[in-house]
Amino acid sequence: MSGSVFASVQPVTPPYTVLGNPGPSQTDAQPVSSDPTLHNPYTFPCNLSGSQNQNQDCLPAPPVPQGRLSLSATNASPNSDIFAANVIYYLPYVGTYVPVWSTAQSGYLPLSIGTGISLNISNSTNFPANSLQDIYVFNNSGSPNICAVQWGTSTAGASSRGSNAAISKLSGIWVNSQNISCNVQGTTNTITTQQGTLIGTIAIGPIAAQTAFQMNPTAAVGGPANGCFMGLSNIYNTIRVSCIAPDSCTQFTTVQSAWESYDLSSNNRVYWVDSVGSVNYDIKMHDMGSTNTATYTVYSAIGINSNTTASGLIDAFQAASTATNGTAYASGMAPLSSGGLNYAQALDGQVPNNKLATFNPRFASGGQVEGLIVEISY
């Protein structure tokens, strides 16, 4: 199994909500205009009586953002690895509109991104190594623009926006809950409370001013260099993808009685970003193992944000003198409530009485590539 896109989101009609009581003559909502200068391109045709006001009683819910963040300049859902990206793109996907709150109109103004908008992240001061950055769309004199706000703490498994990057929902859409200093092409703009629409989050890796999104990195002994890094998270219009971190080592041995990083390598690891704590994940670890004594069992497992603690279903290689196939799972697990940067680490160990265990991480029967496989929505 190699990394691949499993499913894509199909275009959908924006949802509608009727406020107030327009009466029995209410008809279904219809998109009546695509003009982005209007308060909202979707209205309800209503017959209202008395002093009722159509704008108050027939106001639809704002359409959700219709684009996707991408590291590709032309493809909103690329299916190949992209490395060392220093430009972030927001491209049309199910449509071209993104709602941005307007205080003057007390509602969302739908702005068209046209063929797409972009943000250069090559400034190492604003985009330092190992940092998380929220990506916002804001109204720049009637045109949409994007900017970035750094999280307070970007540690994997312990990420936190902090008070300077706090967010909240406004009519179902994530926005900044206070004034924020947002980085735009090397400069800083102040975005007033609620007037930035949060569309996702990126992770800057060990090298400043760039990120990456991998689904099928090159196999290496001890796992691919720096593991597999999926450094981008969309909040809206997500798709399902997977990444495999293959270890090309033919075999290794251990006598470790506690859990340890598989093949003693932190490269047997997959990183992913979860912007708002909404990403479900499905993790598997395929490998082969054997023992030199037919009276004990050894194990492999998966650690979630840990290289010493196992999560999910542990894989047991029971008494055998020849290698047998095995799979550890951390499947169907709920999103991690903290969101931010997370990782899955392949583990081995729990060898009793310091007996010798042999692992064969490269191939299973039929030549299937071995490794840690993480499937997420992004």
Q: Which two tokens stand for residue 329?
A: 């799972």
Structural contact between residues 210 and 121, judged by C-beta atoms closer than 8 angstroms: yes
pTM of the model: 0.81
In terms of C-beta density within 10 A (0-12 exposed, 13-18 middle, 19 or more buried), how is residue 57 classed?
middle
126: alpha, beta or left? (left if phi > 0; alpha if psi -120 to 50): alpha
The rounded distance, in Å, linking the Cα atoms of 182 and 133 is 10
CB atoms within 10 A of CB 318: 14
Q: What is the mean pLDDT of each run of 10 residues along the chain (378 residues)?
A: 28 31 29 37 34 39 86 96 97 96 90 97 96 97 96 95 94 96 91 98 97 93 92 96 88 82 93 94 79 67 91 68 60 70 89 69 53 90
pLDDT at position 6 is: 25
Q: What residues have CB less than 8 Å from 50, skipping those under 6 apart?
A: none
pLDDT at position 284 is: 86
H, E, C per residue of 26-88: CCCCEECCCCCCCCCCEECCCCCCCCCCHHHHCCCCCCCCCEEEECCCCCCCCCCCEEEECEE
Closest CA to 191 of 163, 149, 243: 149
Return the biggest CA–CA distance within the chain.
88
Task: Report helix, strand or coil for 352.
Answer: helix
List alpha helices for the chain, DSSP H.
54-57
Q: What residues have CB less than 8 Å from 12, skipping those under 6 apart?
A: 94
Where do the CATH 2.60.120.1340 domains begin and end in the chain?
A: 217-377
User: What CATH architecture is 217-377?
Assistant: Sandwich (2.60)
The rounded distance, in Å, linking the Cα atoms of 38 and 211 is 36
The rounded distance, in Å, linking the Cα atoms of 32 and 29 is 9
